[in-house]
């Protein structure tokens, strides 16, 4: 008599909730870091109910992943700059830029702290240094004769990224331009074909 339930009825999801929560997450991350980020405080700060947060983002990791979504957008694919060294720099620069900002540091820390695979670390990987951009960079270099045979493209790129992580989280120093040049120098010489 009452018919099938309509799928589109009910109170619509407020877009304001999403933005308020994600803004709160970013603010909390900047203040207290990934450790010490609590759903409860995020909800309070966003003036949103705790249950509304849980409905959308089941875990803390999902929450920061969503909040950091934008930060990973820029790592689409490295452009062709005409030289291997240029390509490496073009790939490393946005990562270093991210690591220079406090929220970027928080994101990195979060990605590394999470034990379970497929959460933050995985997502970051897929975006940042994943197969695609690494292999396309290597492909271009090979075409130019710059790539030393036998070098694994991923290993090269990951070495670059790992150095930035070490710099940011362990040395707790900002990856300056000069420092980055030195790093790219090392890696570039490390993977280029023998002259």
Partner DNA sequence: TGATAACCGAGACGGTACGTCACGTCTTTAA
Partner DNA sequence: TTAAAGACGTGACGTACCGTCTCGGTTATCA
- Residues at the site binding DNA, with contacts judged by CB under 7 A: 1-14, 17, 38-41, 48-52, 54-56, 58-60
Residue placing its CB nearer to its own copies in the complex, 25 or 79: 25
**Shortest approach of DNA to residue 16 CB, angstroms?**
7
* Residues contributing to the site for its own copies (CB under 8 A): 1-2, 14, 16-17, 20, 33-35, 47-48, 109, 111-115, 117, 121, 124-125, 151-152, 155-156, 158-159, 161-167, 169-172, 179, 182-183, 185-191
CA distance 113 to 68: 15
Residue 191 interacts with which of DNA, its own copies, none, CB < 5 to 8 Å by class: its own copies
Radius of gyration of the chain, Cα coordinates, nearest whole angstrom: 21
The item of its own copies, DNA, none sharing an interface with residue 41, based on CB under 5 to 8 Å by kind, is: DNA
d(CA 33, CA 189): 36
- Closest contact distance (angstroms) between CB of 23 and DNA is 14
- SS3 for 163? helix
| Nearest residue (CB) to its own copies, 33 versus 79 | 33
- Say if CB 78 and CB 132 are below 8 A apart: no
DSSP 43-82: HHHHT--HHHHHHH--SHHHHHHHHTGGGGTT-S-----S
Least spacing, CB of residue 99 vs its own copies, in Å? 12
And the tokens for 24?
């709160």
Given DNA, its own copies, none, residue 102, with its beta carbon under 5 to 8 Å by kind, binds none
Q: Give whichever of 35 and 73 is closer to its own copies, judged by the CB atom.
A: 35
Q: Which is nearer to DNA, 19 or 176 (CB)?
A: 19
Q: Exposed/middle/buried for 115, CB within 10 Å: 0-12, 13-18, 19+?
A: exposed
Q: Copy the structure tokens of residue 135.
A: 């292999």
Q: Shortest approach of DNA to residue 40 CB, angstroms?
A: 3
Where do we find the tokens 């930035």? 164
Report the residue number, 3 or 149, with the smaller CB distance to DNA: 3
């Amino acid at each position: 008599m009452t018919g099938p339930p309509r799928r589109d009825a009910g109170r619509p999801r407020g877009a304001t909730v999403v933005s308020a929560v994600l803004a709160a997450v970013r603010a909390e991350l900047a203040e207290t870091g990934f450790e010490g980020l609590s759903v409860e405080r995020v909800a309070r700060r966003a003036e949103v109910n705790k249950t509304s947060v849980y409905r959308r983002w089941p875990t803390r990791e999902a929450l920061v992943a969503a909040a950091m979504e934008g930060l990973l957008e820029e790592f689409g694919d490295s452009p062709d700059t005409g030289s291997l060294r240029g390509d490496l720099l073009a790939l490393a620069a946005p990562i270093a830029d991210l690591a220079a900002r406090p929220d970027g540091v928080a994101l990195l820390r979060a990605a590394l702290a999470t034990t379970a695979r497929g959460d933050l670390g995985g997502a970051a990987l897929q975006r940042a240094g994943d197969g695609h951009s690494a292999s396309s960079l290597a492909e271009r270099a090979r075409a130019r004769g710059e790539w030393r045979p036998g070098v694994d493209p991923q290993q090269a790129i990951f070495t670059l990224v790992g150095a930035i992580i070490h710099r940011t989280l362990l040395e707790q120093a900002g990856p300056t331009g000069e420092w980055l040049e030195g790093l790219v120098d090392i890696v570039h010489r490390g993977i280029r074909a023998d002259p």
